[in-house]
Amino acid sequence: MNDISKIETSNVPPMSSDTTLAGPRRIEIERVSGQPLSVFHERYLNAAQPVIFTGAMSDWEAVTTWTPDYFKDHYGDVQVRVTADLPDTAVPSDYFWEEHIRRMNVSDFVDLMKSAERPCMIDSRSLEFFPGTMQQVHFEKFLPKLEGNEMTMTWIGSKGTHSGLHFDRFDNLFGQVYGEKVVCLLAPDQSRYLYQFADLCQKSNVDPEAPDLDKYPDFAKATVMQAVLRPGDVLFIPKVWWHSLRSTSSSISSNFWFGKDAGLSELLPLAKAGGARVMGRMARDFVWHGLLGRRFERRLLSEEPNGVWLYQIVRDAVGRRLGRSASGE
């Protein structure tokens, strides 16, 4: 049974399929409820098609127990790396991580969440840090078999956290456990409208909810899929699909990265969409930060620059080849 839920238009920009209106076309992410798991593979995973399984977590213990206070009561002494004093912007990669990293225990973090004026979050922490929580989520129900490289993470944050529009290299099942988040998705072929960061082609300068069309006029040609995620919703984000998430309340999410990661052949077209700016910067960073080892500052909620990542791949491949020749293989 398909059930297209109504989107809260107070939280997200209005939907529009009228391309004569200024701004991108906005459509709802498909919602499915009932007995959806059997259709996941064929209809969504194999077709790389986003979908929200409404209420898919209703019998997961996490949904009935996880709150900020639950983590404080059960894991208060666990030390975590936190991003705090976060900027009020949808483009966190404009900032640098070092200025926002704090280390504290979960108890202090939950107090901070409740009192801080600026957003803060425990971002992308493995559930292994919180013993017992791994048994309270059941992403494995979506997959006939596991490969062993899956990562189950949690995101715990105050109202107003922004992930920034970006893509990842793994398929992702994103479960909203507590509170609400607004999500925007764009297909990989929309990359040419997204004004990627020169040093990080997987990060966009555009706020998909409130784009600055004077600065980023091509974004008006894009198609944005969007929804409000509520407790119990599981969203499928196919690998290399652009996504941004913003919390509209205190929020706890858990996500599950799985499958084969996108390789160079999938990533290079996305880098090329950024044009000479991205490709030139990648070559420069390959030499400057990779080969010559010059220090770089990591952007907030970001990986190392693309050029450094590429350098590491090349270095490891060369190392393996030299190792094989030395051992006479």
Give me the 46-85 binding string for ligand AKG, x by CB under 6 A, dash otherwise: ----------------------------------------
Q: Which of 53, 155, 195, 242 binds ligand AKG (CB under 6 A)?
A: 155
Site for ligand AKG in 252-291 (CB under 6 A): 253, 255
CA angle 132/137/138 to nearest 5° reads: 125
Q: Tell me how crowded residue 279 is: count the other CB atoms within 10 A of its CB.
A: 17
C-beta closer to ligand AKG: residue 60 or 257 = 257
Tokens of 3: 């059930």
Nearer to ligand AKG, 219 or 242 (CB): 242
CA 180 – CA 253 distance, rounded (Å): 9
Is 152 a residue that touches ligand AKG (CB under 6 A)?
no
CB of 157 to ligand AKG, least distance (A): 7
> What is the rounded distance in angstroms from the CA atom of residue 49 to the CA atom of residue 62?
26
Q: Which of residues 167-206 bind ligand AKG (CB under 6 A)?
A: 168, 172, 174
- Work out how close the CB of 150 gets to ligand AKG at its nearest, in angstroms, rounded to a whole number: 13
184 near 222, Cβ under 8 Å?
no
Cα angle at 140 between 156 and 51, to 5 degrees?
A: 70
CB 179 within 8 A of CB 155: no
Tell me the sheet residues that pair with 254: 154, 175
Q: How far is CA 178 from the centre of its chain?
A: 17
Out of 152, 163, 191, 302, the only residue in the binding site for ligand AKG (CB under 6 A) is 163
245 is a contact residue toward ligand AKG (CB under 6 A): yes
Chain residues in the site for ligand AKG (CB under 6 A): 155, 161, 163, 168, 172, 174, 243, 245, 253, 255
